[in-house]
Structure 1
Amino acid sequence: MSQTEDKKLSLSETETDKKEVRDSEEEVIEAIKKARDGDESAFRKLVEKYRSQVVGVAFRMVGDYEDAKDVSQMVFIKTYQNLDRFDTSKKFSTWLYRITINASIDFLRKYKKHRHESLDESLNITKEDQADAEEIYKRGLIKWAINQSLEKLSEKQKSVFILRDLEGLDIKMVAQILSMPQATVRWYLHRARAKLKEELTKNFPQLVERRG
């Protein structure tokens, strides 16, 4: 295939991706409008679409899966109650991230819980996984160590690190979600990464050496 054909194919794939994103966003806005009018099935579709995102962020914030599910319920209740306030010219996922972060922080402050899942829960090796048990163990150990170290971060450091490095959002998006300047986001991210490296080096030196 020629470079010209490669370029055309790449552009075509990019345009297709953009269209899919637009279509998805339009579906979300339509569901929001229906939910505002009292269509419960429309809101359930929103819950199904974003449940994994909400539970994932909540889990990384509060450190316990059952607690994360409780937080996610609070998030969707709050989302439903405030749906009329959502600006449909903005991204719904951004708004939902903000609600999730705030709900997680409120949960931690209220219950003062700072417990993370055990190493066994992080590994979660099934019989079907036995052949890859060593690799799963390594990944689970790294995940568990990071979760333990997250507790040493401040609320803002943790929020920034989770959204940027674990959720993969860009700096601009993180700034919008947390309502802070991009420069401030970068500063918190720098401090969070430095603190995590310090904690991992002190408590899990074998992992730091292994990752080089």
Structure 2
Amino acid sequence: MFDEQEVVLRIQRGDVRAFTVLVNQYERLVFHVVHRLTLDQADAQDICQDVFLKVYNRLNTFAFESKLSTWIARIAYLTAIDYLRKYRKQTTTDLTDTLEQTYFTTETPEQALTQKDVSAYVNNLIAQLPAQYRTVLTLYHLDEFSYPEIEQITGLPEGTVKNYLFRARKLLKDKLDSYLKDE
């Protein structure tokens, strides 16, 4: 069983193997958060390395006021956002209802379904969501964080988190309904 307090204390005392245990415990979470924002495997891997360097260097500031996973996910989220701002020149704050439709491609479901795989199609749809929607959806449904935890990770108010999650689900539902109607 993973005891985060023990692992953190061991790392703070210089135990490198304990840091390996921490990385193994949270590497999927960090990759999920980062990859859903960047949508690029190579970028995500580079950012994940940066995240774990930051975790290692800042571990002495972790005060166990939240779960370690929440604290690490926040570092991953902020590091990915910083990367996007610096290298992609994308803003992550301009969300308007009129732009929501532009995040979906005009390709047919048949084109999107590389192997007639609905799961791949849904993942493709999720990848086309605005970054905030994609992140909140991933943190809530795939990483199983609560609303307060997502608020801590993203810095968004809980009401905004709920709103983004609602909008993301609605966009996915509308697109899937359209696909199923065509079937």
Stretch deviating more after TM superposition (71-80 or 105-114): 105-114
The structure with the largest alpha-carbon Rg is 1
Query: Does residue 172 of the first structure (1) align with residue 148 of the second (2)?
Result: yes
**Which structure 1 residue ranges, 5 or more long, are not aligned?**
1-22, 115-121, 124-132
1:76 Cα deviation from its structure 2 partner: 0.1
Q: For residue 121 of structure 2, what is the amino acid of its counterpart?
A: L
Whether 1:53 and 2:29 are equivalent positions in the alignment is yes
Q: Which has the higher helix share?
A: 1
- Over the aligned positions, Cα root-mean-square deviation in angstroms equals 2.9
- Larger RCO (alpha carbons 8 Å, 6+ apart): 2
1:209 aligned residue: 181
1:74 aligned partner, one-letter code: D
- Give the Cα separation in 2 of the matches to 1:188 and 1:144: 18
Structure 2: stretches of 5+ with no match in the other structure:
91-112
The equivalent of 2:84 in structure 1 is 108
Question: Deviation digits for residues 77-133 of structure 1, max 9, x if unmatched?
Answer: 01011011001242100101101111111111121188xxxxxxx96xxxxxxxxx6
Is the partner of 1:193 in helix, strand or coil? helix
Measured in 1, the distance between the counterparts of 2:82 and 2:181 equals 36
**Which aligned segments of 4 or more residues in structure 1 are displaced greater than 4 angstroms?**
195-198
> C-alpha displacement at 1:60, in angstroms?
1.2
- TM-score, normalised to structure 1's length? 0.65
Aligned residue pairs total 162
Tell whether 2:114 aligns with 1:138: no
Of the three residues 72, 80, 83, the one matched with 1:96 is 72
For 1:1-212, list aligned pairs within 5 A.
24=2, 27-112=3-88, 134=116, 137-147=117-127, 149-150=128-129, 153=130, 155-197=131-173, 200=175, 205-206=178-179, 209=181
Given the superposition, is the C-alpha separation of residues 78 and 210 from structure 1 closer, same or farther in structure 2, using an over 3 Å criterion?
farther
Q: Which amino acid aligns with 1:209?
A: K
Q: Distance in 1 between matches of 2:133 and 2:126?
A: 14
Q: TM-score, structure 2 length as denominator?
A: 0.74
